[in-house]
Amino acid sequence: MALELAVAVASGQPCLGRFAVPLPGPVLLFAAEDAPLQVKSRLESLAGARNADFDSLDVRLILENSLRLDSTLDLKRLHHTLQKHQPKLLVLDPYVRLQRADENDAREVSAILSALRELSRTFHTAVVLVHHARKNAAQLPGQALRGSGDFWAWGDSNLYLMRRRKELLLTIEHRAAPSPEPMSLQLLAPQNPHHAEQHPVCLQVCDAASPPPASTPLSERILAHLHRFGPTPHRGLRSALRVRDSSLSEALRTLEANGQLVRSPEGWSLVSAL
């Protein structure tokens, strides 16, 4: 997803083939876990999928062996690099490889994130920081991020990509704008490796069927939501279905008594999904 954003900003082509890029420009990228040739190959594939000219794609790789966001020296070097290249977007992937601080220590995490915020404001550069979620997290997406809650609070826009049942689910949160409904993504890849140039690997937004209308019985709407999105906490159901807490609680109790739902640490689930 981070490389998809990089290609979109550098090329001006719509992100995921759908979301417009009003201010394209150079991208600076540090991929701590991938070799430069691997990154180049993925960027070339994504550029092909988005009808972007790879040879003119302005994505600039930081080729240092390491970049430490908790190092004063490395932050100074990153400052000079941003000053020189003036990118529209800086991608840092992933956070766990970019520091040695305790990610559960709010003070240490806050210092690192504050430094990134200062760089962003100084150079008018958007920063994408890739961070992992806890495995088998029971919380809503923003609460499932590993470590300190500062990660969730820091982002102006947070994108969460997770696997739910048989689909990839992209959830987006904005600090100062309404959040869209979660959307399903599909990974498109050629079945025959020899066709990779004609059909490059990319993510595609799935146009799912519309949710049941409000006139549909609440029990059916609950079952439809859980079938599509998998285990969901009570608060998540209430937000998605936009119903009164008392009505939702009553419907959930009825479905549970009928043997259609079960409650687990992850939230409410269909019995057939267990």
The structure tokens listed for 192 are 């025959």
Q: Which pLDDT band holds residue 258 (cuts at 50, 70, 90)?
A: very high
Element (DSSP H or E) covering residue 93: strand 89-93
DSSP string for residues in 151-172: HHHH-SEEEEEEEETTEEEEEE
Specify the range with the lowest mean pLDDT, choosing from 17-21, 156-160, 180-184, 213-217. Answer: 213-217
Instruction: List the one residue out of 79, 75, 88 whose CA is nearest residue 125.
Output: 88
Would you say the pTM of this structure is higher than 0.85? no
Per-residue pLDDT tens over the stretch 121-174: 999 999 999 998 877 655 567 777 888 889 989 999 999 988 776 678 898 999
Tell me the CATH class for 218-273.
mainly alpha
pLDDT value, residue 178: 86
Whether pLDDT at 199 is above 70: no
Residue ranges matching CATH 1.10.10.10 in the chain: 218-273
The structure tokens listed for 81 are 């690099």
pLDDT value, residue 149: 86
Superfamily for domain range 2-156: P-loop containing nucleotide triphosphate hydrolases (3.40.50.300)
- 160 forms bridges with which residues in the sheet? 171
